[in-house]
Amino acid sequence: MDGSTSALFEVQAAAADSAPDKSELIFNKYGDRYFLAEVFEEGNPNGSKVVESRYEKKISQEDAAAHERASVRHEGQQ
Protein backbone atom coordinates (compact mmCIF):
# COMPACT_ATOMS: atom_id res chain seq x y z
CA MET A 1 0.00 0.00 0.00
CA ASP A 2 2.91 2.37 0.65
CA GLY A 3 4.37 1.77 -2.83
CA SER A 4 7.39 -0.22 -1.63
CA THR A 5 8.39 -3.63 -2.95
CA SER A 6 10.02 -6.51 -1.12
CA ALA A 7 11.11 -10.07 -1.84
CA LEU A 8 12.04 -13.12 0.19
CA PHE A 9 14.64 -15.64 -0.93
CA GLU A 10 16.71 -18.43 0.59
CA VAL A 11 20.39 -17.72 1.30
CA GLN A 12 23.48 -19.58 2.50
CA ALA A 13 26.62 -18.26 4.18
CA ALA A 14 29.30 -16.92 1.83
CA ALA A 15 32.80 -15.54 2.39
CA ALA A 16 34.72 -13.02 0.27
CA ASP A 17 38.51 -13.12 -0.15
CA SER A 18 38.63 -9.74 1.61
CA ALA A 19 36.19 -7.29 3.18
CA PRO A 20 34.65 -5.04 0.49
CA ASP A 21 35.19 -1.25 0.67
CA LYS A 22 31.50 -0.71 -0.17
CA SER A 23 28.42 -2.88 0.27
CA GLU A 24 27.99 -5.01 -2.84
CA LEU A 25 25.29 -6.90 -4.69
CA ILE A 26 26.69 -9.48 -7.10
CA PHE A 27 24.51 -10.70 -9.96
CA ASN A 28 24.72 -13.61 -12.37
CA LYS A 29 23.90 -12.43 -15.88
CA TYR A 30 22.53 -14.82 -18.51
CA GLY A 31 21.90 -13.00 -21.78
CA ASP A 32 19.77 -9.99 -20.77
CA ARG A 33 18.56 -11.53 -17.47
CA TYR A 34 20.07 -10.74 -14.06
CA PHE A 35 19.80 -12.92 -10.95
CA LEU A 36 20.96 -11.79 -7.50
CA ALA A 37 23.80 -14.16 -6.49
CA GLU A 38 25.61 -12.71 -3.45
CA VAL A 39 25.31 -9.86 -0.94
CA PHE A 40 28.21 -8.39 1.07
CA GLU A 41 28.12 -5.46 3.51
CA GLU A 42 30.87 -2.85 3.62
CA GLY A 43 33.80 -3.96 5.78
CA ASN A 44 32.50 -7.50 6.35
CA PRO A 45 33.96 -10.47 4.41
CA ASN A 46 31.04 -12.66 5.52
CA GLY A 47 27.96 -12.34 3.38
CA SER A 48 25.11 -14.29 1.85
CA LYS A 49 24.83 -16.40 -1.28
CA VAL A 50 21.36 -16.62 -2.82
CA VAL A 51 20.17 -20.16 -3.55
CA GLU A 52 19.44 -20.51 -7.29
CA SER A 53 15.79 -20.79 -8.26
CA ARG A 54 14.60 -23.52 -10.62
CA TYR A 55 14.21 -20.86 -13.29
CA GLU A 56 17.80 -19.64 -12.90
CA LYS A 57 19.09 -23.23 -13.05
CA LYS A 58 17.18 -23.73 -16.31
CA ILE A 59 18.52 -20.47 -17.81
CA SER A 60 22.08 -21.25 -16.65
CA GLN A 61 22.07 -24.51 -18.62
CA GLU A 62 21.29 -22.56 -21.78
CA ASP A 63 23.81 -19.71 -21.33
CA ALA A 64 27.15 -19.14 -19.56
CA ALA A 65 27.02 -16.70 -16.66
CA ALA A 66 28.81 -13.38 -16.41
CA HIS A 67 29.17 -11.80 -12.96
CA GLU A 68 28.35 -8.14 -12.42
CA ARG A 69 28.84 -6.13 -9.21
CA ALA A 70 26.83 -3.18 -7.99
CA SER A 71 27.78 -0.98 -5.03
CA VAL A 72 24.86 -0.19 -2.75
CA ARG A 73 24.04 2.16 0.13
CA HIS A 74 21.78 1.62 3.11
CA GLU A 75 19.00 4.15 3.68
CA GLY A 76 20.43 7.11 5.56
CA GLN A 77 24.03 6.23 4.59
CA GLN A 78 26.04 9.06 3.02
Write down the mean pLDDT value for the chain: 86
d(C-alpha 70, C-alpha 23), whole Å: 8
- Answer yes or no: is pLDDT of 1 > 90: no
- The neighbour count for residue 12, using CB atoms within 10 Å, is 9
The predicted structure's pLDDT at residue 39: 94
| 42, 53 contact by CB (below 8 A) | no
- Answer yes or no: is pLDDT of 78 > 70: no
- Answer yes or no: is pLDDT of 61 > 70: yes
% of the chain beyond a pLDDT of 90 = 51
Q: Residue 60 — φ and ψ, nearest 5°? A: -65, -25
pLDDT in tens, 28-56: 988 888 899 999 999 999 999 999 999 99
